[in-house]
Amino acid sequence: MSINWIHNFPFFSIFLAMLGGILTALLNDGKKALRLNQLITLIVAILSLCLLLNVTANNESFTFMMGHFPAPWGNELRAGPLEALMAFVFSILMFLTVTGGQREIFSDVVSDKVKYFFIMINLIFGSILALIYTNDVFTAYVFIEINTIASCAVVMAKGHGRSIIASIHYLIMSSLGSGLFLIGLCLLYDITGHLLMPNIQEQLILLSRSGEYALPLTVVCGLVFIGLAIKSALFPFHTMLPNAYDNSTSAGAGILSGLVLKSYIILILKFIFQVFSLEVIQALKIENVLFVFGIVGMIMGSIYAFREVRIKKMLAYSSVAQIGYIFMGFGIGNMAGFTASCFHILAHAATKTLLFVSAGSLIETNGGKTGIRDLQGAGRLNPFAGVAYSVGALSMVGIPLFAGFASKYYFALSAAGGKLQLSIVLTALAVSMILNAIYFIPTVISIWSKPEGEIKPKAEPTFSFKCVCVAFMMINFILGIFFQPIIAVIEQGLRLLG
């Protein structure tokens, strides 16, 4: 086949990221490690873009057998427009986050450990890509574990006591999630005898139609979803996030909240479409559960965020709320809902990384204090970060022309099916918008208000940081204005997925 070589791209991407991790270990300098990481993410971005253009143009999705071994011995990857889009956006965001947060990494991470930090980042990147592309549930589990451990290391990177406690907390919660997921997988394997997603799906549909194994099937569903929900910090499993983000570097927090959480959600999406199939999901009423938890998460996350006085913790709680949006979209249960959720995965990833990076820079400017009150006037000293943060905040609130508005709009439209559902979704969106405004706007006001006394910036923003800010804002505006083609790609991807 003439285009066969493009089908290798997903594998190349994952391989490159993992290889990067190994190569970094050989380097002796943090700077070089950074450059390597940047290089890899850029290459992956380009590869993903090519892949994206190719699959959307051909309107196809394909499975890629690693080493051309057919199942059940081989390991399969699967790629379509959705996967390629996610990989593309995530790699760009990865690049920007790491570039934007580099100074804090070099200053705050224990100096001789910077290299290891980048190893972890590379591993995280690789596992995210793997979770996006994998077609094999066991591979998914393996990369979940890699991801978990790497994430813990990233949380720990600052090396002081609080970060160690936070990372232990993170580790325990994550392990619980992976554990449940693993048990679910075992049962699934028991019932179906397969590990590849399409094969499992075939069996499950047969089982559900025949009515056999009804109870185990429910248990499997429960275990898998709860496991992944814990990993993606759906309310009420969010407790690990705030401390973890508060104590890790901004770039790390951005990656963890913007990308890592999303990779599990993408996995959930794949489970819904490729493992359980919509039919089974609807029969088990999983969507209603997700809907309720999503809505509760939206509101509760915002309420927690509202009560928070430290900016990174506030952003963490805001992530909890935003994850709620995504689950609510899943819970709406129609294609429009999934589309909206997928869009929101992108929108939130783009916005949250932007917020963490700019917040990190603002904190640096004001001398490292993370209280919202301490940030007074930081925006005046560091206008690029200030504007970027403001853009992020407005996007979170859902002001038109920003990314957040587009996803809100699609969430609202997707709920048009039932009156009850529509009213619940609209109410939740409205309340959540108000709450978002209540906790985001004061921070924006705070960073722009006059500082008490004359404050000199503790650190000047670098040129690369400014570029990153501009790029982040452009991504936000692109998502907020030219969302129709993106939505079209997502729809195409979802169609090809299930």
Partner 1 sequence: MLDSVLTIIPVLFPVLTGAGLLTFRFKERKTLYFWVAGIVVLNALAALLMIFTHGAEPFVLFSFTDTLAFVFRVDSLSAFFGTMVSILWVLTTFYAFEYMKHEGHEQRFFAFFIMAFGVVLGLAFAGNMFTLYVFYEFLTLSTIPLVMHAMDGKARHAGKTYIIYMMAGASLAFIGFIFICLYGGNELFTLGGTLDPMLVKGNEELLRFVFLLTFLGFGVKAALFPFSHWLPAASVAPTPVTALLHAVAVVKSGIFAMIRLTYFSFGTELISGSWEQSFLLILAMVTILYGSIMALRTPHIKRRFAYSTISNLSYIIFGILLCTPQGMSAALLHLIYHALIKITLFFAAGAILYKTHKEYIYEIGGLARKMPIVFGCMAVASFGLIGVPPFAGFFSKWALATAAVDSGNPLAYVGVMVLILSALLTALYCISLLVKAYFPPKGEQADGHDPNWLMCAPLIILSAATIVVALYPQPLLQAINLIAGIS
Chain residues binding partner 1 by CB under 8 A are 394, 397-401, 406, 408-409, 412-413, 416, 419, 426-427, 429-431, 433-434, 437-438, 441-442, 445, 449-450, 481-484, 487
Phi, psi (deg, nearest 5) at residue 101: -100, 10
Report the alpha-carbon distance of residue 314 to residue 352 in Å, rounded.
12
Residue number, 42 or 416, with CB nearest to partner 1: 416
Residue number, 110 or 430, with CB nearest to partner 1: 430
Residue number, 142 or 416, with CB nearest to partner 1: 416
Question: What is the closest distance, in whole angstroms, from the C-beta atom of residue 442 to partner 1 in the complex?
Answer: 6
Question: What is the closest distance, in whole angstroms, from the C-beta atom of residue 189 to partner 1 in the complex?
Answer: 43
Pick from 24, 47, 51, 50: nearest CA to 35 = 24
Question: What is the closest distance, in whole angstroms, from the C-beta atom of residue 48 to partner 1 in the complex?
Answer: 25
Residue number, 337 or 398, with CB nearest to partner 1: 398
Question: What is the closest distance, in whole angstroms, from the C-beta atom of residue 479 to partner 1 in the complex?
Answer: 11
Residue carrying structure tokens 């379509």 = 80
Pick from 307, 249, 311, 348: nearest CA to 443 = 311
Question: What is the closest distance, in whole angstroms, from the C-beta atom of residue 219 to partner 1 in the complex?
Answer: 38
Question: What is the closest distance, in whole angstroms, from the C-beta atom of residue 436 to partner 1 in the complex?
Answer: 8
CB 114 within 8 A of CB 33: yes
Residue number, 175 or 449, with CB nearest to partner 1: 449
Q: What is the 3-state secondary structure (H, E, C) of the chain?
A: CCCHHHHHHHHHHHHHHHHHHHHHHHCCCHHHHHHHHHHHHHHHHHHHHHHHHHHHHHCCCEEEEHHHCCCCCCCEEEECHHHHHHHHHHHHHHHHHHHHCHHHHHHHCCHHHHHHHHHHHHHHHHHHHHHHHECEHHHHHHHHHHHHHHHHHHHHCCCCHHHHHHHHHHHHHHHHHHHHHHHHHHHHHHHHCCCEHHHHHHHHHHHHHHCCCHHHHHHHHHHHHHHHHHHCCCCCCCCCHHHHHHHCCHHHHHHHHHHHHHHHHHHHHHHHHHHHHHHHHHHHCHHHHHHHHHHHHHHHHHHHHHHCCEHHHHHHHHHHHHHHHHHHHHHHCCHHHHHHHHHHHHHHHHHHHHHHHHHHHHHHHCCCCCECHHHCCHHHHCHHHHHHHHHHHHHHHCCCCCHHHHHHHHHHHHHHHCHHHHHHHHHHHHHHHHHHHHHHHHHHHHHHCCCCCCCCCCCCCCHHHHHHHHHHHHHHHHHHHCHHHHHHHHHHHHHHHC
Residue number, 12 or 409, with CB nearest to partner 1: 409
Report the alpha-carbon distance of residue 293 to residue 325 in Å, rounded.
10
Question: What is the closest distance, in whole angstroms, from the C-beta atom of residue 389 to partner 1 in the complex?
Answer: 14
Question: What is the closest distance, in whole angstroms, from the C-beta atom of residue 450 to partner 1 in the complex?
Answer: 5
Residue number, 427 or 464, with CB nearest to partner 1: 427
Residue number, 368 or 418, with CB nearest to partner 1: 418
Which two tokens mark 433? 């918008």
Residue carrying structure tokens 């959705």 = 82
Residue number, 367 or 485, with CB nearest to partner 1: 485
Residue number, 419 or 456, with CB nearest to partner 1: 419
Residue number, 5 or 463, with CB nearest to partner 1: 463
Residue number, 156 or 487, with CB nearest to partner 1: 487
Question: What is the closest distance, in whole angstroms, from the C-beta atom of residue 365 to partner 1 in the complex?
Answer: 18
Give Dmax over CA atoms of the chain in angstroms. 75
Question: What is the closest distance, in whole angstroms, from the C-beta atom of residue 435 to partner 1 in the complex?
Answer: 9
